[in-house]
Amino acid sequence: MKIMTCPLNGPRPVSEFFYWGEVRPMPDPASCDDATWADYVFNRNGAPGVKREWWCHTPSNTWFIAERDTAKDVVLRTYFHEGDA
């Protein structure tokens, strides 16, 4: 069984988590052109390597960031998002 560590609940079976996608900066929709917005919405970086990804522990609805090596399928660390403050 694969285990992922939730920053709030500790080690849990990976079946309790939901993947939401890579952490990426969002362009300002009010000031960017259509090509930039379309690139943000539709294109993803699929190259193998270390990625920062959004994950949710579904039983507790806890959202956090996981740094994961997609080439080796190994979670390097998990932590809460610190926001833009």
DSSP string of the chain? --EEEETTTEEEEGGGEEEEEE--PPP-TTTS-HHHHHHHHH-----SSEEEEEEEETTTTEEEEEEEETTTTEEEEEE------
Threshold 0.95, pTM exceeds: no
Task: Look up residue 39 and give its two tokens.
Answer: 């690139």
pLDDT tens, residue by residue, 31-41: 999 999 999 99
For residue 72, the one-letter residue type is: K
Chunked mean pLDDT (size 10), the chain, 85 residues: 95 97 92 94 91 97 97 96 66
Judge: domain 1-26+50-84, CATH 3.30.2270.10. yes
